[in-house]
Chain A
Amino acid sequence: MTVPDSDQQADADGGAEPPVPAAGLPWFVKLLVVLAAVAVAFVVAVDLLHFVELF
């Protein structure tokens, strides 16, 4: 497989998005990310407990 021109070249071709002024997550989105991580940990833990119970 040959790797063609660099990504910088692709950017020069117009592939890259112009920069968006507001960089980084706002605080309320950071809170949502934490809540989502807690929710994922919770449901995985519950599912594992169910799974362990099967055996």
Chain B
Amino acid sequence: MAFVDEFPFEAKLTRHSFGVAFLALAIGGLFGLIQALHRTGAFRGFVSSADYYTVLTGHGVLLVLVFTTFFIAGLFNWGVVRSLDRPLHSKRLGRAWFYTLLLGTVLASTAILGGFFDSVPLSADVLFTFYPPLQAHPFFYIGAALIVVGSWLAGANYFLTYRAWRAENPGERIPLQTFMVLTTMLLWYLSTLGVAAEVVLFLIPWSLGIVGGVDPLLSRTLFWFFGHPVVYFWLLPAYLIWYTVLPKLSGGRLFSDPLARVVFLLFLLLSTPTGFHHQYLDPGIPEGFKAIAMTNTMFLLLPSLLTAFTVVASIEHGARQSGGDGLFGWLRALPWDDPAFAGISLAGLMFAAGGFSGMINAGMSINYLVHNTLWVPGHFHLTVGTAFALTAMAATFWLFPQISGKRLRLRGAAVAQPYVWFLGMVLMSNAMHRAGLAGVPRRTAEPQYDAFAFDAGVGGIGEMRAQIALGGILLFLGLVLFLAVVFRTWMAPRDEELRVTGTIPPALSGPENSPPVLDNLRLWTLVAVALVVLTYSLPLVSMVADGLLTPGLPPIPV
């Protein structure tokens, strides 16, 4: 029985969540195309260079806050209900998180888009990293706060659903997808405390004129308390797909359930005490605490490498089950004509490249080479822009039939879509990385390189700009293909039979091969909180020692 028939309310909630996510993806993606053409000088007729920053804010907020949060909430909704095989604890709470998220999105988007019109007294050209001294209209901050509150409500429903399941299944191991959802939400609850404090205590009163000023360092620190773990809030849902859906699509099974649990716990423990690595150039934070953040960030490579090993081993197992053999010959036995498999696999491949450039970002000394250059957007277009976004789009090709009861339409476009996205991202992201090394700044409408000679080893600024523009056009084409497939499928009548099943075969090594302490979420949450306290308490104390709204004392030497 299809998911939509077994759990019609939950399927509808997931479908509508995806609908809002894809609308945000469409608008944010269009803004991305405009940016790529504008800053490379390929075409500057869409907006003025002053409005470029409105476009940039819209691109960032609509994609990495709205698209991600709605998609993840819908995906987790499906994952919890499917793996626990029971409906959500509360339909009312389900509606509450959806409409809270929607209201937040409307408020924040209205504030951003108001920046295009001089007659509208709204503006929020504060970019995705909305900390001071840039200031937005209060609507923006209230909207952002509601988006976070909506995600909290969604998480509460997952936990309540799990609690109801636990009451009927004492002693059972937590089903893997639910385990992944709960650990990700614990990470999210912990990390969003920072941005909630920043927005509610400082930014909303400041934008309303209730307080005259805020401490920029404290605000930045609270933002990055959330701003790096949010990366894992995007990534772990992709991991959920890679671990539980990709092996099945390849014709096999997950290699190790215990390893997957260890990976998610490591992310819960280490994701939040890393935020200072975004603040290497900020004065007022002791170097020793920056070094601790760097160390924690580097430790996070371990669960990512474990993931690479486990997922590749799982799909190799699937390929060999399908007759593939040889050292690399098994790769040919994989279903590359399945858009879901191809998209998720290519997303994983690009994430490997993103991980390498992430190591450069996280290195305290070498970070200075790339800080605030185009390297950084080059990096995160591989991670959130592909590892998450392409996984989300590809997973939709598999998931949407189950939550709608409709067979995927425009299959040719769906098969082409991941390859178009991959091609576009190879060109755009690599050129952005190279441009960053050459010193090209990020967040600049018209970077100028005409006044001095640029002596590159190979290529030049013009060639990099051309690749970025071409890559941006291809990515937009990939987005249009995706939206056309979803729209056509959504509008189609229901089918009698689907070509996909939601059943996920058990792992080769199941949860019985791991110690039950892995499922003790209270214990791991306490350890995660302790690590955050150790990392953040002294620097925060020094920042607020002489008042919450004024710059703090000199840093404590470590």
Within 8 A of A (CB), among B425-453: 426-427, 430-431, 434, 437
Within 8 A of B (CB), among A34-48: 35-36, 39-40, 43, 46-47
A32 touching B420, Cβ below 8 Å = yes
Q: Which residues of B contact A52 (CB under 8 A)?
A: 457
Q: Which residues of B contact A13 (CB under 8 A)?
A: 503, 505
A47 touching B434, Cβ below 8 Å = yes
The interface size of chain A toward B, counting residues with CB under 8 Å, comes to: 35
Within 8 A of B (CB), among A15-31: 15-20, 22-26, 28-29
Q: Which residues of A contact B253 (CB under 8 A)?
A: 7, 10, 15
* A26 (CB) vs chain B CBs: closest residue: B412
Q: How far is the CA of A13 from the CA of B501 in the complex (A)?
A: 11
Q: Which residues of A contact B501 (CB under 8 A)?
A: 14-18
Point out the residue from A11, A22, A28, A36 that lies within 8 Å of B422, measured CB to CB.
Answer: A36
Q: How far is the CA of A28 from the CA of B506 in the complex (A)?
A: 36
B499 touching A18, Cβ below 8 Å = yes
Contact stretch, chosen from B59-67, B271-279, B507-515: B507-515
A43/B427 contact (C-beta < 8 A), A18-B499, A24-B337, A50-B434 known: yes
Q: How far is the CA of A4 from the CA of B256 in the complex (A)?
A: 12
Q: How far is the CA of A47 from the CA of B353 in the complex (A)?
A: 12
Q: Does B261 contact A (CB under 8 A)?
A: no
B457 touching A47, Cβ below 8 Å = no
A36 touching B434, Cβ below 8 Å = no
B423 touching A39, Cβ below 8 Å = yes
Give the interface size class of chain B: 35 or more
A16 touching B251, Cβ below 8 Å = yes
* A18 (CB) vs chain B CBs: closest residue: B499
A4 touching B503, Cβ below 8 Å = no
Q: How far is the CA of A16 from the CA of B249 in the complex (A)?
A: 8
Q: How far is the CA of A47 from the CA of B438 in the complex (A)?
A: 13
Q: Which residues of A contact B457 (CB under 8 A)?
A: 49-50, 52-53
* B322 (CB) vs chain A CBs: closest residue: A7
B336 touching A25, Cβ below 8 Å = yes
How many A-B contacts at CB < 8 Å in the complex? 97
A7/B419 contact (C-beta < 8 A), A17-B500, A50-B434 known: no
B430 touching A43, Cβ below 8 Å = yes
Shortest B184–chain A CB gap in Å is 24
Q: How far is the CA of A52 from the CA of B457 in the complex (A)?
A: 9
Q: Which residues of A contact B318 (CB under 8 A)?
A: 7
B415 touching A29, Cβ below 8 Å = yes
Q: Does B416 contact A (CB under 8 A)?
A: yes
Q: Which residues of A contact B500 (CB under 8 A)?
A: 17-18
A36 touching B419, Cβ below 8 Å = yes
* A35 (CB) vs chain B CBs: closest residue: B423
Q: Which residues of B contact A2 (CB under 8 A)?
A: 509, 513
B508 touching A15, Cβ below 8 Å = no
Q: Which residues of A contact B498 (CB under 8 A)?
A: 18
Q: Does B321 contact A (CB under 8 A)?
A: yes
B411 touching A22, Cβ below 8 Å = yes
* A51 (CB) vs chain B CBs: closest residue: B457
Q: Which residues of A contact B426 (CB under 8 A)?
A: 36, 39-40, 43
Within 8 A of A (CB), among B387-412: 411-412
Shortest A38–chain B CB gap in Å is 9
Q: Which residues of A contact B412 (CB under 8 A)?
A: 26, 28
Q: Which residues of A contact B430 (CB under 8 A)?
A: 43, 46-47
A15 touching B423, Cβ below 8 Å = no
Q: How far is the CA of A27 from the CA of B165 in the complex (A)?
A: 49
Q: Does B359 contact A (CB under 8 A)?
A: no
Q: Does B504 contact A (CB under 8 A)?
A: yes
Q: Which residues of B contact A18 (CB under 8 A)?
A: 497-501
Q: Which residues of B contact A29 (CB under 8 A)?
A: 337, 415-416, 419
* B256 (CB) vs chain A CBs: closest residue: A1
**Chain B CB within 10 A, most for which of A13, A25, A43:** A43
Q: Does B338 contact A (CB under 8 A)?
A: yes
Q: How far is the CA of A40 from the CA of B424 in the complex (A)?
A: 11
Q: How far is the CA of A11 from the CA of B251 in the complex (A)?
A: 9
Point out the residue from A22, A35, A50 that lies within 8 Å of B337, measured CB to CB.
Answer: A22
* A52 (CB) vs chain B CBs: closest residue: B457
Q: Does B458 contact A (CB under 8 A)?
A: yes
A-B contact pairs, 12 of them (CB 8 A): A1-B509, A15-B248, A17-B500, A22-B337, A26-B412, A26-B416, A28-B416, A29-B416, A43-B426, A43-B427, A43-B431, A49-B458
The 4 closest A-B pairs by CB, nearest first: A53-B457, A15-B505, A10-B505, A32-B419
Q: Given contacts A7-B318, A10-B253, A39-B423, could you give 20 more A-B pairs where the C-beta distance is less than 8 Å?
A: A3-B509, A4-B508, A15-B248, A15-B253, A15-B505, A16-B251, A18-B498, A20-B411, A23-B337, A25-B415, A26-B412, A29-B337, A32-B423, A33-B336, A33-B419, A35-B423, A36-B422, A36-B423, A40-B426, A50-B434
